[in-house]
Amino acid sequence: MEEGKASESASTATAHRFVHSLEPECNRIFYDPYAKHFLSRGYKFLLVNPFLRYVTARWYERLLPGIARCVYIRVRYIDDCLKECIDNGLEQLVVLGAGYDTRAYRFGELKDRVKVFEVDHPTTQVVKIEKVKNIFGYLPRHVEYVGVDFTKEEFKEKLIESGYDGKLRTIFIWEGVTYFMPEKDIDKTLSFVASNEGEGSSIVFDYVYTSALDSSCKKMIKVRHLMEKVGEPILFGIDEGQAESFLAKRGFYHIRDVKAQEYEITYLKCFRRRWGFMEVSPYWGFVYATVKSKDEA
């Protein structure tokens, strides 16, 4: 991410949530009433008008084939994992690289029951805090905003200083982040998550396959070049089919590794008919895993 500039990927992901939330209720797979508040005027101009929205979607699909649908599926998949954790007695939520994530506000069950920590770069977080104040008139008491420059600071220290309790049942949401990090930082993050002592603690994140980083992968060339231009190059991937072993070696179990394409039929039946020109990228995966307890380590 460029110094002094809020994350472009955070804005793009929010635009996707906004677009999908404009769909009729029978077509959409999630609803984010707050996404619109985080969009620039330029985004709103292109996306509010149905015709311009359609033209923009066609253009985006040609530029970055398969990405939009992956984002829709990703949001719903992570929402489902969070709901499952809430039903099982969740006590703490940590959103790593939070960007303009709105789950702390969309999920009413979290208020007065679950402490939420949003961890992100200070530049992006300053913008978000102002937007949240504009939406609600105040900052929700159950949310802690943990500003961290990941290139200079240890996020775990800042998280602990903000009141994070490693003994509570926690889910770590790591959405749209891993591919922008070097592997050493991936390992440091996973090591910290795996050290959580709360029974049933877990992590959910999305990732790209290592093959997507190869220069011979034509469908991902445009994606890589675009992200490099905005200062967020794609650096990390996991070999297809290897996420389970990758995480098992790092202290996780009950690992569910799925392809984005596997969930297209589950989630996008109606939406597929309306936006038939869209595809789902074959290079994206989602994984949910539980931290090993001491008895199982």
Site of tokens 């105040």: 138
Length of the chain: 297
Question: Could you report the per-residue pLDDT of 188-221, keeping only the tens digit for each?
Answer: 999 999 999 899 999 999 999 998 888 777 777 7
Distance CA 266, CA 285 (A): 15
Instruction: Please list the residues that pair with 238 across neighbouring strands.
Output: 209
Considering only CA atoms, which of 85, 106, 119, 121 is closest in space to residue 21? 106
Question: Could you report the per-residue pLDDT of 124-171, keeping only the tens digit for each?
Answer: 999 999 999 999 999 999 999 999 987 778 888 999 999 999 999 999
pLDDT along the chain (297 residues), means of 10: 60 92 87 94 85 86 84 94 96 96 97 95 94 96 92 86 96 95 92 92 95 77 76 87 95 92 70 62 91 64
Helix (H, G, I), strand (E, B) or coil at 21: helix
- In degrees and rounded to multiples of 5, residue 238 shows phi and psi of -120, 140
Total H helices, total E strands in the chain: 12, 7
